[in-house]
Structure formats: structure tokens, C-alpha cells
Amino acid sequence: TDVTDPLLAELLDLGLEAARRAGALLRDGRPDDLTVAKTKTSPIDVVTEMDIAAEKLITGFLAEHRPQDGFLGEEGASSPGTSGIRWVIDPLDGTVNYLYGRPTWAVSIAAERDGETVVGVVEAPMRGETYRAVLGGGAYAGERRLAARPSPELDQALVGTGFGYIQSRRAHQADVAQRVIPRVRDIRRGGSAAIDLCDVAAGRLDAYYERGLNPWDLAAGALIAREAGALTGGRPGEPESGELTLAASPGVFALLQELLEELGAWHD
Ligand code: IPD
Ligand code: CA
Ligand code: CA
Ligand code: CA
């Protein structure tokens, strides 16, 4: 990729290197007897020692190169910084898959400039793929330029989704999914929001939606999806957020957004 803005080029290089190192640590350093270190919002919302180690590696590496930048990381990194750049980090997206030795997990790193996502990197070591995007510069996996799938009819769309770990919301999320299923080709629950968004970017899904994401789950992947020509958003007229995150090929986006609005997908 040719990134003309030298600051964005630097942020991309640092994000790629931090993600590569964390991905290698997670892939090569996964203990055979890996267990849950603690739980967060509910007993199914788990954290392992490796989530924490990966976040330490990433923030340590980035802070060494850019000490003035801010951080927001799932495992606790939080500082405003003074440079106008903030790193938004999910050190291990797909912890439940990782815990069970399932391959669908990723490291997600985004850089924001004055609150706008300008760089996104999603490293998926078990796929051997690294997805990246710079604002206005397209999305890539290695040399391959990513492009969202040509839009099918909604009833021919393969739709990814996820269910948050806040247990009180899950029955309604299941209800929404149950009503989406008869309207589309099929649904998938991969277990990593960052990879779901990159799958929309790469044409491996027509669309993806989820209620209850945090900024670290979606920042990098949403930029990658947009730079691949997909549309992203939340409820009608809103940007993607914890309320609702939707990414889709342009021709499916509005119809799916309408359906999710009708089903109250953002409700608790
Ligand atoms: C989770 C994954 C999952 C999604 C959850 C997220 P984590 O992130 O992205 O696919 O359904 O909402 O919390 O906890 O594995 O980083
Ligand atoms: Ca988590
Ligand atoms: Ca996550
Ligand atoms: Ca995580």
C-alpha cells in the first residue's frame, strides 16, 4: 500500500508490528492447560492470562515508539495522551474460541486521530491473514485488495452475528436471530467481531450485525469493512456503536438495517 500521509504510514507500520508480535505470542505461547483467569460482566464473560499478556505487549511496544499517544484497551489500558492519536486495542478478540483451541480469534488494533479511526489492523494468526486499512486508502490482506461482495437479495445474504456476554440480553438476541434466519440465506456466529467485520470486507459474508459491542471490538474492523466498499452503521441514521453495529454490502445494508429496526435488535 502507498500511504502518502507520513503520520498514517507510521501508525500503520506500528499497528502492524504490534499486532504481529501479539499474534505470535498468542499462537505460540498458548498454554495447553489454559484456564480462565477471571470473569467480567457475567460468568460467561471470561479473560485468560493471555488476553492480559497480549495487551501488555501491545501497549508497551506502542508507548515505547509513541509515548504521547493515548490508549483504550479492553483489559484496562486507558489514557487520553497528548498527541491527538489514541490506540483502540482488543488484544484478543474471540477469547472463548481461543480458550477452546478454536482458530477464529484475532488481535485488533485501531488508531484514531482526533476521534476518527484512521488506521485499522486485524491480525488473524490461525488464518495466516492480516487485514489492514488506512482511511481513504482501501483495505488489504497482504497484497490482495479487499472488496465487499456484490450485493445479493437479502434472502440470499449470508449474515454473521454475535451475542454479547451480558446474560440478561441474550434471550432477546436469540429472538432477533430467530426472526432474521427465515429472511436470509443463513446465519453464522463466528465468535470474533473483528473477524466478522473483516469477512464482510473480504466478501466472506454479505453482512454482519451485533448488539453490545465495545469500541475495541469494532474500531479496526469497521474501517476495514468501509475501505472495502461495505457500509457500516447502527440504527437508521446512526453510526455503529454499542447499541447496534451493522456492516454490509451496499445493496443489503438498508434492508437489513430496516429489518433489525423492526425487530428491535438494539433492545435489552
Ligand atoms: C467478543 C467477540 C464475540 C462477540 C462478543 C465480544 P472478546 O469479544 O468479539 O464475537 O460476540 O460480543 O465481546 O471478549 O472475545 O474479545
Ligand atoms: Ca473479552
Ligand atoms: Ca472483543
Ligand atoms: Ca478481547
Query: How confident is the model over 198-222, as a mean pLDDT?
Result: 98
Fold of the 6-145 domain = Fructose-1,6-Bisphosphatase; Chain A, domain 1 (3.30.540)
Pocket-testing residue among 47, 51, 93, ligand 1, by greatest number of atoms within 8 A of Cβ: 93
**How high is the mean pLDDT of the chain?**
97
The response to whether residue 162 sits with its C-beta less than 6 Å from ligand 1 reads: yes
Domain extent listing, the chain? 6-145, 154-262
Q: Count Cβ atoms below 10 Å from residue 17 Cβ, excluding itself.
A: 16
Q: Nearest ligand, CA of residue 161? A: 1
Task: Give residue 264 CA to ligand 4 midpoint distance, Å.
Answer: 26
Residue nearest (by alpha carbon) to ligand 1 atom 11? 162
CA atoms within 13 A on the CB side of 251: 11
> Per-residue confidence at 256, pLDDT binned at 50, 70, 90?
very high
Task: Give residue 45 CA to ligand 2 midpoint distance, Å.
Answer: 6
- Report the C-alpha dihedral over residues 109, 163, 129, 116, rounded to 10 degrees: -30
Q: Nearest ligand, CA of residue 91? A: 4
So what's the ipTM on this one? 0.98
Q: What is the pLDDT of residues 47-99, one digit of tens each?
A: 999 999 999 999 999 999 999 999 999 999 999 999 999 999 999 999 999 99
Q: Nearest ligand, CA of residue 105? A: 1
Within this chain, domains 6-145 and 154-262 share the same CATH topology:
no
Task: Give residue 4 CA to ligand 3 midpoint distance, Å.
Answer: 31
Output the pLDDT for position 1.
59
Q: Which CATH number fits domain 154-262: 3.30.1130.10, 3.30.420.280, 3.40.190.80, 3.40.50.720?
A: 3.40.190.80
The response to whether residue 73 sits with its C-beta less than 6 Å from ligand 1 reads: no
SS3 annotation, the chain: CCCCCHHHHHHHHHHHHHHHHHHHHHHHCCCCCCCCCEECCCCCCEECHHHHHHHHHHHHHHHHHCCCCEEEECCCCEECCCCCEEEEEEEEECHHHHHCCCCCCEEEEEEEECCEEEEEEEEEHHHCEEEEEECCCCEEECCEECCCCCCCCHHHCEEEECCCCCHHHHHHHHHHHHHHHHHCCEEECCCCHHHHHHHHHCCCCCEEEECCCCHHHHHHHHHHHHHCCCEEECCCCCCCCCCCEEEECHHHHHHHHHHHHHCCCCCC
